[in-house]
Amino acid sequence: MELLSFGDTGWGDELFFATLITIAVSIAAMAIGFVFALIFTPLKLSKNKTLNVIGNCYTTIIRGVPELLVIYLLFFGGTGAAMYVASIFGYDGYIEINAFITGALAIGIISGAYSTEVFRGAILSIDKGQFEASKVLGIKKHIQFYKIIFPQMLRLSIPNLSNVWQITLKDTSLISVTGLVEIMRQSYIAAGSTRDPLFFYSVAAVLYLMLTFLSMKLINKLEIKYSKGY
Amino acid sequence: MIGIFPGLLNGAVITLQLLVASMFFGLIIGLIFAILRINKNPIINNFAYGYSYFFRGTPLLVQLYLIYYGLANIELLRNSFFWVIIKEPYWCAIIAFSLNTGAYTSEILRSAFQTIKKGYIEAAQSLGVTKKITFYRIQLPIAIKQSLPAYGNEIILMLKGTSLASVITIMDLMGEARKVNVLTFKPFEAFITAGIIYLFITFIIHNIIKYLEKKYGFQT
């Protein structure tokens, strides 16, 4: 237990801040994923063949390759690409992109693919009569989406989004390979310097279990709140 | 560009070995724990639930590190004959992946067992079929058929999971791609080629499962 004390002698405070970083990366990734999902869901549902193919390519490719691959590609490729762009503008120094940003973006792209599938399923399960009714009432297409379809889509996708959240939370452990000090990286450092990997990885496992447990409870509450009256 | 292919293909073979081995052990573990989950004894039941909760609630990377770095910390294990297995990263990866996929498989099979219509079991009972035969000839085949689509997804998830083996020094497809990146400083070539190979394997698995579903699929 001494190993977990706060302050200079223990790893308690380091692990606490690492947990906050994990939560921050997960939320950032989830938000980025939302943006991606809101762009690609209409593409997947569109009647235009080309747009359809673009939407399908995104979800198929991202869900078909390992998460680690996306992270490496952005981490190593991103630096190169940024330096290339900078060299056009006459800057030849080394640019290092922040590990937090690359990590959140990589995990966001992945969770976006899952969210896209969730949103698509939710929209497809909305009764067709609602689209027809709003058309008959002369509601414009974008207002129909924002005022009628979008709120229902969010409510219907809460249970499946909670799965996506769990996957995203667990995927953030992979960002540790790029050096961002979240739970996994911090336990790796602690395990290395105290030579007690069993203890610190167990602590990491408990921290992740706590996060998944607490977020499950929270999402269940949300689900009950928003399904009132249905 | 073409020069990197043989190395990556060698890596792909390791990836497939890891996948097949862990799916095989995972299926056995999953089946055992699914049967424990539907047991009515609360202690057995909760033990199986705890197992699947732990392995589904923590990242695969934590489990891999726990087994690869953590188990070596236990003096007792280091002196036993298990050390022969645990000191090899290859076997550690297979143990971690099997336990992980076993947890997911047990959940898939459990839900399949629980959705079997009561009528089948009652019919078997009224025909005087023993409990054991009812399980092996009726419940098990139906459960396996019903869980095919979900199990197909699990295989693909595990294929992606095997890429973590590269973190503990195994030269699987991901490990080879990392090596190419380090040697040539061409991240795009290395990782995109590896990605295409991963997609190709995913595509094949997807189609095999689709074929099996069509052939043995179960309509209720």
The domains located in chain A, with CATH, are 21-181 (1.10.3720.10)
pLDDT in tens, A179-214: 889 999 999 999 988 888 899 999 999 999 999 999
DSSP symbol at A198: H
Q: Does B74 touch chain A (CB under 8 A)?
A: yes
More confident residue, A10 or B69: B69
Please answer whether residues A207 and A19 qualify as being in contact, where contact means their C-beta atoms are separated by less than 8 angstroms.
Answer: yes
Q: Give the angle subtended at the CA of A152 by the CAs of A148 and A156, to the nearest 5°.
A: 165
Predicted confidence band of residue A1 (pLDDT cuts 50, 70, 90): low
Question: What fold does the segment set B2-216 form as a domain?
Answer: MetI-like fold (1.10.3720)
pLDDT in tens, A99-152: 899 999 999 999 999 999 999 999 999 888 888 888 899 888 888 888 888 888
Give me the residue spans of the domains in chain B.
Answer: 2-216
Q: How far is B78 from chain A (nearest CA, A)?
A: 13
Contacts A72 to B, Cβ<8 Å: 177-178, 181, 187, 191
What is the average per-residue pLDDT within A11-22? Answer: 91
pTM, 2 dp: 0.89
Please answer whether residues B172 and B11 qualify as being in contact, where contact means their C-beta atoms are separated by less than 8 angstroms.
Answer: yes
Burial track B201-216 (b if 16+ CB lie within 10 A, e otherwise): bbeebbeebeeeeeee
List the single residue in B74, B161, B181 with the smallest CB-CB distance to A198.
B74
What's CA A93's distance to the chain center, in Å? 32
Amino acid present at A7: G
Separation CA B173–CA B11 (nearest Å): 4
Q: Does B150 touch chain A (CB under 8 A)?
A: no
Predicted confidence band of residue A178 (pLDDT cuts 50, 70, 90): confident
Residues of chain B with pLDDT under 50: 220
